[in-house]
Amino acid sequence: MGFSFVSESFQNALDRLFETAQKNLNSKDDETKNWANKVRSLKEFFTNRTLEYLDINLHETKKWNLFDVSQLADSIIANDLLHLKYGALSFYVYLKEWEFRRGIKENEQHNPIVRSFYDFIYTEKNQRYLEFKTHYDFVDELPFVICGEIYSDSKLSEIRNFLEEKDFSDFNSFVETNTTTFEMIKKWEESFDEKKQAVLDLEKRLEESKQTYDFVLLNKGFKELYEQKKAELKERRNGYSSFGATLAITPLLLIIFSFIGFWLKGEETLKYLLYVMFPVSTFMLIILYFVRVSLQHVRSVQSQMMQLELRMTLCQFIHNYAEDSEKLHKKNAAGFEKFENIIFSPLVSSDDKIPTTFDGMEQLAKLVSEFRK
């Protein structure tokens, strides 16, 4: 006929059983005390949700009224020790079919309370097997009963007959083909990963080459500008030398011609010298002015060449500017700011200090006006 785990009578019987266990937790009789503690430890297990699951899935246990705690005899209930023993052995049957149905192996049971309960029941089984032989034998035969239930299912028989009637040679061939295909795909994936890594390595090398090349181009630009300034310095020095030579030769020639004139003409030569002195003096002042301008140009070009040499030296010192600029800024912001100011600032020249030709002519004009006065 069977029983139900969700019936009111079963719930009331559970409550009476747990009350008996609670009452004997500190019993003077050690045996009663031990059984009371084991039964009381499973109280949290029997929730409404668990009872519903047991009622749906424990088909074999429900067939036997022997395991229904609500149908225990009054003589058993009146004896606290027997009441606890029958209740605990019924729990043992419930838990075992529950585990078999869910596929939980005994060595995989992680609930310490359940494991402790099993250990206690196994000890009692070894010592007093005959007292609850029916319960123990039922649990031992339960796996075979459940397996027989599964294999005798009509749906399983239909599936088995269907598999026996069908020819699965094509399916086996398909599986073998798929296995070969999967192996090829796996090899392709491994080859793809290798090629992907090779491409990433090439990308990294190209990026490094690009950064190096960019810095080389910057250095090359500085070198080309340096060569231009070098040629310009040579031209400026030649101009400076020409003006300097003219400034030195002019008075010397004047002195030589004066001696020759004095030797040939005597004192009359002095009269001509007075007429020649003013234009020669003006000419020498003009040449002196251009000597000064040429000297300033030479110094300016030399200063720019020194700045270019400094930039080329810094380019050789820092190669990964595009990649390392952020790191360098964080480590030494002030120092790297000075580096950028040097590299990317315009060349400093002395153009503001070089007098223009027009300014020089104004100065000569003022000098001539002073002589007239």
Q: If you average pLDDT over every residue of the chain, what do you get?
A: 76
Segments forming the whole domain that contains residue 348: 215-372
Lowest mean pLDDT segment, chosen from 42-56, 205-219, 230-244: 205-219
Residues 337 and 232 in one domain: yes
Asked whether residue 181 is assigned to any structural domain, the reply reads no
Q: What does 29-58 look like in DSSP terms, one character per residue?
A: SHHHHHHHHHHHHTGGG--HHHHHHHHHH-
Identify whether residues 156 and 246 lie together within a single domain: no
Q: For residue 126, how many other CB atoms are within 10 A of its CB? A: 8
pLDDT surpasses 90 at 36: yes
Are 147 and 264 within one domain?
Answer: no
User: Do both 238 and 346 map to the same domain?
Assistant: yes
Structure tokens belonging to residue 232? 């310009």
Contact present, 98 and 130 (Cβ < 8 Å): no
**343 and 267 fall within a common domain:** yes
Q: Structurally, how many domains does the chain consist of?
A: 2
In a domain, 274, yes or no: yes
- Note whether 353 and 271 are same-domain residues: yes
CB count in 10 Å sphere of residue 66: 16
Together in a domain, 60 and 152: yes
Task: Say whether both 219 and 155 belong to one domain.
Answer: no
User: Alpha-carbon distance 161 to 45, whole Å?
Assistant: 42
* 237 and 334, same domain (yes or no): yes
Please report, as a single letter, which amino acid is at residue 85: K
Distance CA 198, CA 200 (A): 5
Nearest to 134 by CA among 122, 144, 146, 125: 125
Tokens 């007292």 correspond to 131
Q: Among residues 165, 196, 229, which one ends one of the domains?
A: 165
Query: Does any domain span residue 177?
Result: no
> What's residue 239's pLDDT?
81
For residue 345, the 8-state DSSP code is S
Which residue shows structure tokens 């100065």? Answer: 363
Closest CA to 92 of 52, 48, 58, 56: 58
Tokens of 125: 């089984």
Task: Verify that 154 and 224 share a domain, yes or no.
Answer: no
- Has residue 171 been placed in a domain? no
Q: How many residues does the chain have?
A: 373
In a domain, 186, yes or no: no
Which 3 state secondary structure label does DSSP give 5? coil
The pLDDT tens digits for 131-183 are 899 999 998 888 888 887 777 766 766 666 666 656 556 656 666 677 777 77
Examine the fold and report which residue of 126, 146, 165 is the final residue of a domain before the chain moves on.
Answer: 165
Contact 26, 32 (CB under 8 A): no
Count Cβ atoms below 10 Å from residue 224 Cβ, excluding itself.
11
In a domain, 355, yes or no: yes
pLDDT tens digit string along 298-321? Answer: 888 777 778 777 777 766 655 555
pTM: 0.44
Question: Of 150, 165, 180, which one is at a domain's C-terminal end?
Answer: 165
User: What is the average per-residue pLDDT within 113-125?
Assistant: 90
pLDDT tens sequence across 49-77: 989 989 998 888 888 888 889 888 888 88
What is the 3-state composition of the chain as percent helix, strand, coil, each rounded to the nearest 5? 85, 0, 15
In a domain, 312, yes or no: yes
325 burial via Cβ count (<10 Å: 0-12, 13-18, 19+)? middle
Q: What is the DSSP string of 147-209?
A: HHHHHT-HHHHHHHHHHHHS--HHHHHHHHHHHHHHHHHHHHHHHHHHHHHHHHHHHHHHHHH
> Is 170 within a domain?
no
- In terms of average pLDDT, the best of 124-133, 248-257, 277-286 is 124-133
Cα–Cα distances in angstroms (integers) from residue 75 to residues 68, 72, 79, 373, in the given order: 15, 8, 7, 156
